[in-house]
Structure 1
Amino acid sequence: MTRDPSGQARSVEDHAGIIARMLEPLSEQPPEETVRLDAALGRVTAEEVRSEVDLPLFRNSQMDGYAVRAADIRSAPVALEVSGDIPAGHTSPVTLIAGTALRIMTGAPVPTGSDTIVPVEDTELVLGRDDDLEGAVVEIRRSRAAGEYVRERGSDVRRGEVLVSAGTRLAPRHLAALAAAGVETVRARARLRVGILTTGSELISSGAPGFGQVYDANGVALAALVEESGATVSVRASSDDDPAAFERILDDALAQSDLVITSGGISKGAYEVVREVLHPRGADVTTVAMQPGGPQATAVVGGVPVFAFPGNPVSTQVSFVVFLRDPLRAAAGLPPIPPVEAALTADLQSVPGRRQFLRGLLDGSGGVAPVAGHSSHLVAGMARADVLIDVPAEAEAVEAGATVTVWTL
């Protein structure tokens, strides 16, 4: 059991620093890959993307209405012959005859010779019908200046200009701009491949639990946390408390992953399968002065970092948020999620000597209230929370009204 020179359990800060240093090589020179646009949501661009076209691609109408010359409608109201129709998607160039109008739809190419669009709301067809413009005449009720409701080519972006900067986490708005410019793929940071291993003979993944069995919540929780942090799950497996069984899934995960996370099997009791297998491989098995999440272990096996968390569901989730979330986000090119301050709205009790991470719920006005109890098995209570209340190790109680640090979940 590793402790600091004073004989005390390792501090949260010290353990977080160890994990951050283990993961630094994965973020200093992150690999890149080419990603299809339809699979690029949430990915972080590895290089800037410049437009190869002007946007809009051509002069087009901003409104349904009539394409005219501003000079011909200066004395509006005025009646003009309708010389044709231009729907969206029209592919043949059209020229406007002076002294006439062309009906035009939104997005349709503006004809040569036209410099303004009159919205349909400012017009009335006085001869002809909407479905038959033969011999039609339209009355333009108000004048328009040159350029009104005309989208000029390149008015959004010019060819060669930056569409998306390097280091951008692609959101739907970015994908829309890239698609509009005809971009089909982007260079993005490759996602770290994370193996997730849960342990315990009591675990089942589905079906009706037998006596003494529980559903494997940690595999689901860790997979979601990994994906949310910009990485991807390479392997997700579970083993019972047989060391040989765990060693098989560990070796498989190591072969396919950039890092591996385990849950369970590292405490001081019997059947601690992760500790049994990792300790001979050089693992640093320790106790961190925190609750929940005290038992922790780290190792590098075959060049792959391994992070072992305790098995209670709340302990596993708290361990990830406190120790792994920001390093994984850094490797993905994402910003950290720093703790913030809030005003405590109810008294709380704490265990002195251990830094507490209690579940809490923000009230929308800068206040936070404790949710559920201290125990690390209260996974439904965790679901009701949206933050962790960070209580210093020396505190035995914190009164309502005090300012506390909270970690966003």
Structure 2
Amino acid sequence: MGTSVEAHRTAIRSLLAPLAERPPQARSLSESLGLALANDLVAPASLPPFDNSQMDGFAVRSQESGRELAVAASIPAGAVPAPLASGHAAPIMTGAMLPAGADAVVPIERADPPSFPDTVDHARVALPAVEPGTFVRRAGSDVRAGAVVLRAGTRLGAAQLGLAAGLGIAQLPVRAPLRVAVVSTGAELAPLGEPLRPGQIHDANGTLLTAALREAGLEAQATAVRSDEPGDLLAALADAAGAHLIITTGGVSKGAFEATKLALAEHDVDFVHLAMQPGGPQGIGSIDGVPFLGFPGNPVSSWVSWEVLLRPVLSELLGAPAPRPRLNLPLAEPLDSPEGKLQVRRARLRPDGSAELVGGPGSHLLGALAESNALVLVPEHVTRLSAGDDVEVWLL
């Protein structure tokens, strides 16, 4: 029935493995969102950096709590307080440094009176008994200085960048995003915004794939070759020589005018047929040392090729883009699938947690793709599923 999807993924992984060895780049936090960390990140400081108050309240010596105490000077956040004298409680704000001698905080609402005095002269406050450490954030209780807080390969999202900022780090060593040249081919392609002549279609692949790649954090540029002449495609590929990866769409099947196959006949490129629907015809190899993948020309086939074949490999090798979340969910309706092929269907999640198929298995159904928010993957050995049967679902 064809090459297995996993075997082709393995081939893509081998092809692209050298891209994981590129030297890291130092980028500001704002430029690092969505990229992967190149080296382990070691905390240069502890978080919190000092013992501080978790509440607005009174800093006390716990052994002196449970009675009336004199009120010491207030401690705002950002101040370095004087040591707390015996027999005193200090008004302290959330996040403020705990004074030496204090080991607990009593929330203001538990004090009597439950308010901070206008002046500390002769002011007194009655506090309930508390244990040591009450409402105190200990230095290093979140992160210890010298600890590895993020491993190499971690994708940098908001939480990871927030951690770096909290540690005072301004730049991070990252794996720079790949530059991808997307070249759509076919004499039938018409430019966007122009009326179609008989037999023409608009080029959806360039927009669809470059948008998917950019959404995943890669740099992508689209070119359309509106011709079936091999020389025209070769010229476009020569212009893409500065890319880390070249992806073409179209011209990889068994037709009489497969321009991509013809153009690359003398290059180190293999054309195979995968046991997958849609997305069976594929090309893989290199063009003058640049890794090359040839996707089918139908829009959904090219997009499924990205999602099922390329995206998981990049996630594994480079740490970005993030892999799609995978769940086992019940089908909302019956499904038939061809024997010996991985069938990839578009779906929409229902409020009850089931996966409702959107459109049929056809590789041209852009409208159905635009309505979907999940993929249903039916294994090669499964030919029939009933409503309610569990199936692998990738969330988009």
**2:149 aligned to 147, 163, 170, which one?**
163
> Do the aligned residues in 2 keep the contact of 1:56 with 1:155 (CA within 8 Å)?
yes
Deviation at 1:171, TM superposition (A): 3.2
What is aligned with 1:180?
166
SS at the partner of 2:146?
A: coil
Q: Equivalents in 1 of 2:313, 2:46: separation in Å?
A: 39
1:73-124 CA-partner distances (Å, limit 9, x unpaired): 33x2x2x44342221122x442334333332211122223333322111224
**Structure 1 residue 85 and structure 2 residue 74: aligned?**
yes
Alignment-derived partner of residue 206 in structure 2: 219
Work out the CA distance in 2 between the residues paired with 1:371 and 1:311: 21
Query: Do residues 26 (structure 1) and 19 (structure 2) align?
Result: yes
Query: Which residue in the other structure is 1:115 paired with?
Result: 103
The worse-fitting range, judged by mean Cα deviation, of 217-226 and 330-339 is 330-339
Equivalent residue letter for 1:88: A
TM-superposed CA distance for 1:343, in Å, is: 4.7
Runs of 5+ unmatched residues, structure 2: none
Shift of 1:341: 5.3
Which range moves more in the overlay, 220-229 or 304-313? 220-229
1:303-361 per-position Cα deviation (integer Å, ceiling 9, x unaligned) = 11211111211111122233222222222136866976555443334556765433344
1:73 to 49, 65, 69: 65
Answer yes or no: is 1:256 the counterpart of 2:242.
yes
Query: 2:125 maps to what in 1?
Result: 139
Counterpart of 2:44? Answer: 52
Distance across 1 between alignment mates of 2:73 and 2:325:
61
State TM-score, norm by structure 2.
0.82
Tell me the secondary structure at the aligned position of residue 85 of structure 1: coil
Cα RMSD, aligned residues only: 3.5
Specify the SS of the correspondent of 2:134: coil
Number of aligned residue pairs: give it.
392
- Give the superposition deviation at 1:179: 1.6
Query: How many Å separate the matches in 2 of 1:304 and 1:373?
Result: 36
Given the alignment of the two structures, is residue 235 of structure 1 paired with residue 228 of structure 2, yes or no? no
Residue 107 to residue 18, structure 1, CA distance change in 2 (3 Å)? closer
Match of 1:149 in 2: 135
Q: Is the CA contact 1:310–1:316 (under 8 Å) kept in the aligned structure 2?
A: yes
**Structure 1 stretches of 5 or more lacking a match?**
1-7
Task: Judge conservation of contact 1:288–1:295 (CA < 8 Å) in 2.
Answer: yes
* 3-state secondary structure, aligned to 1:256: coil
Secondary structure at the aligned position of 1:226 is classed as helix
1:381 offset after TM fit, Å? Answer: 0.9
Q: Which residue of 1 aligns with 2:93?
A: 105
1:129-169 CA deviation, whole Å, 9 max, x = no partner?
85x42636242242333432233333333322222233333
Give the Cα–Cα distance (whole angstroms) in 2 for the partners of residues 17 and 155 of structure 1: 43
**1:367 CA displacement:** 4.8
Q: Give CA deviations for 1:34-81 in whole Å, capped at 9, x if unaligned.
A: 23223333333333222222322223222112223334433x2x2x44
- Tell me the SS of whatever aligns to 1:102: strand
Deviates more, 1:36-45 or 1:332-341: 332-341
Pair 1:168–1:38, CA change in 2 (3 A)? same
Structure-1 residue corresponding to 2:380: 392
1:344 touches 1:401 (CA, 8 Å); kept in 2? Answer: yes
CA shift digits 1:273-301 (9 cap, x unpaired)? 43332234343234445432233222311
Q: Is the 8 A contact 1:388 1:408 kept in 2?
A: no
TM-score by length of 1: 0.80
Q: Tell me the residue number matched to 2:29.
A: 37
Instruction: State the alpha-carbon separation in 2 of the partners of residues 408 and 53 from structure 1.
Output: 37
1:227-270 alpha-carbon deviations (Å, 9 max, x no partner): 566x62253322322645433332222x2222211112334446
Q: Percent identity?
A: 38
- Going from structure 1 to structure 2, the CA distance change for 1:143 and 1:338 (only over 3 Å counts) comes to closer
Residue type at the aligned position of 1:220: T
Q: Any residues of structure 2 matched to 1:226-305 within 5 Å, and which?
A: 226-227=213-214, 232-241=218-227, 243=229, 244-253=231-240, 255-269=241-255, 272-305=258-291
Q: Match of 2:119, SS?
A: strand
Q: SS state of the match for residue 179, structure 1?
A: helix
Matched AA of 2:160: H
Output the amino acid matched with 1:185: Q
Deviations 1:179-236 (A, max 9, x none): 212122222334333222223455567546445665543233323443566x622533
Distance change (3 Å), C-alpha of 1:61 and 1:242: same
From 375, 389, 401, the counterpart of 2:362: 375
